[in-house]
Amino acid sequence: HLDRIAEVDGLVHAFLHVDAEGALATARAVDADLAEGREPASALAGVPLALKDVLTTKDMPTTCGSRTLENWVPPYDATVTRRLRRAGVVILGKTNMDEFAMGSSTENSAFGPTRNPWDPERIPGGSGGGSSASLAAFEAPLAIGTDTGGSIRQPGAVTGTVGVKPTYGGVSRYGLVAFSSSLDQAGPCARTVLDAALLHEVIAGHDPLDSTSIDAPVPPVVAAAREGASGDLSGVRVGYVREFAGEHYQRGVLGSFERALGQLREQGAEVVEVSCPNFAYALPAYYLIAPSECSSNLARFDAMRYGLRVADDGEHSAEEVMSASREAGFGPEVKRRIMLGTYALSSGYYDAYYGSAQKVRTLISRDFAAAFERVDVLVSPTTPTTAFRIGERVDDPLAMYYADLCTIPANLAGNAAMSVPSGLSDDDGLPVGLQIMAPALADERLYRVGAAYE
Ligand code: GLN
């Protein structure tokens, strides 16, 4: 995999940092264990992985795709990182991303975009485009992403790979640099559903270091993926959400989705239409809640404790240093979100914006709850379009935000969702994803249906 990275990453640019030495040391330790007859630490011991650069690593930089954290090496490992190491997983390096995970194309990275291995003129999705592109380019068989509004599933869909957003609280956020704390969730990315399940079980589970971590057994996702591999879905009730269609969707994407429903029926699933009327308000609610939390979380980058510091020449006040450093360290999208969020949280507007968005969030949870009384899982296209061209949406934030039309409801409600490859679009021959959504703590349903479908 290191050779493959050396060969193709100049073009793909999935990685911001490659740790060849560390990776080889871990791999040799696993080899030594096997040679001496010791049990490997896990089923994934010795398997290489690409880690999104938003999870802290004490021996590698963690930049979050931002100038603010360029060259910053954290003093501690994220819980996800620690669990990967404990399982003997070989961490190849850190992957490119939109700055602080804000974006849908990886073009907001301060270090240049990642390219989609299917067509280097196109985006690999975002914010975790580096992680998904590394899988599609065969630079790594496993990767970790984080998903606040779709950043695991949307890149998975447009690169033809698998991506899972576990139930909120299923995977610890300790050491995951916060964007929107009530939505952020780390999860597995892979080329098959079973690989994702194996990785899911390595990283999931209660963590006292994260107060929102759920103290419950990890859903049996590996067993579910193995069960699903038979392809038989008899007895499984699948709902497709009526509201996920319309003007924003490409014909080729909807065509692929129709074929997916047909296949699920052939496999024995009972497929019915359900309505989730409040999903129409998910995108606007998200773009109040996520920037609000972002404006608060990113206040920590004050140039005083760590990160970029400019104008520190003895001539400027602490406030001027802080202001100049934030001006220089943050890119345009991050600044846009901080301004939006600060405005939405300001005393005169709090109830009108943040308060209303929170109410919409509750309505969306109720839509899900009502739907899950009738069906076991919900399905939809993962994204309204296939991978768009690099540069096509950079000047149009709203067009960029529409990439997450189908993925955001699951984040707002905190339930589990997966994107699984669903063939190629008739429009342009590019990969399309099928999104599967399950209730909170029922992540195993995604794996059962996903493994049967793929
Ligand atoms: N594209 C969405 C945003 O820009 C989601 C990002 C994410 O899931 N991290 O906020």
Tens digit of pLDDT for each residue in 335-365? 999 999 999 999 999 999 999 999 999 999 9
- C-alpha 408 – ligand 1 centre gap (Å): 9
Closest CA to 282 of 363, 214, 181: 363
- C-alpha 187 – ligand 1 centre gap (Å): 14
Best substitution site from 108, 109, 148, 294 to test ligand 1's pocket, by max atoms within 8 Å of Cβ? 148
One-letter-per-residue 3-state SS of 347-365: CCCCHHHHHHHHHHHHHHH
Say if CB 189 and CB 156 are below 8 A apart.
Answer: yes
Q: Tell me what pLDDT residue 6 has.
A: 98
Q: Number of helices (H) and strands (E), helices first, in the chain? A: 15, 11
Domains, the chain, in order of start with CATH, read 2-282+356-453 (3.90.1300.10)
| Residue 151 annotated to the active site | yes
Where does residue 257 rank: exposed (0-12), middle (13-18), buried (19+ CB within 10 A)? buried
Instruction: Express the helix, strand and coil content of the chain in percent, nearest 5 each.
Output: 40, 15, 45
| Residue 275 annotated to the active site | no
Q: Tell me what pLDDT residue 300 has.
A: 96
Q: What is the pLDDT of residues 60-77, one digit of tens each?
A: 999 999 999 998 999 999
ipTM of the complex: 0.98
Report the C-alpha gap between 367 and 352 in whole angstroms. Answer: 22
Best substitution site from 132, 151, 181, 289 to test ligand 1's pocket, by max atoms within 8 Å of Cβ? 151
Of 109, 134, 151, 213, which one is the catalytic site residue?
151
| Mean pLDDT for the stretch of residues 31-38 | 96
Closest CA to 146 of 90, 105, 102, 92: 102
Cβ–ligand 1 distance for 53 under 6 Å, the answer no
- C-alpha 418 – ligand 1 centre gap (Å): 16
- C-alpha 151 – ligand 1 centre gap (Å): 5
Q: Which atom of ligand 1 is nearest to the CA of 104?
A: 1
Q: Is the per-residue pLDDT at 246 higher than 90?
A: no
Q: In residues, how long is the chain? A: 454
Closest CA to 406 of 379, 425, 382: 382
Q: Is the per-residue pLDDT at 112 higher than 90?
A: yes
Cβ–ligand 1 distance for 46 under 6 Å, the answer no
Cβ–ligand 1 distance for 290 under 6 Å, the answer yes
| Residue 52 annotated to the active site | yes
- C-alpha 290 – ligand 1 centre gap (Å): 9
Residue nearest to atom 4 of ligand 1 (CA): 103
| Mean pLDDT for the stretch of residues 272-293 | 97
Report the C-alpha gap between 143 and 156 in whole angstroms. Answer: 11
Q: Tell me what pLDDT residue 423 has.
A: 97
Cβ–ligand 1 distance for 180 under 6 Å, the answer no
Residue nearest to atom 5 of ligand 1 (CA): 149
- 283: three-class secondary structure by DSSP: helix
Mean pLDDT of the chain: 97
Q: What is the pLDDT of residues 403-439, one digit of tens each?
A: 999 999 999 999 999 999 999 999 999 999 999 999 9
Of 104, 105, 127, 134, which one is the catalytic site residue?
127
Q: Which atom of ligand 1 is nearest to the CA of 180?
A: 9
Q: What is the pLDDT of residues 289-306, one digit of tens each?
A: 999 999 999 999 999 989
Q: Tell me what pLDDT residue 81 has.
A: 98
- C-alpha 128 – ligand 1 centre gap (Å): 9
Of 52, 66, 109, 134, which one is the catalytic site residue?
52
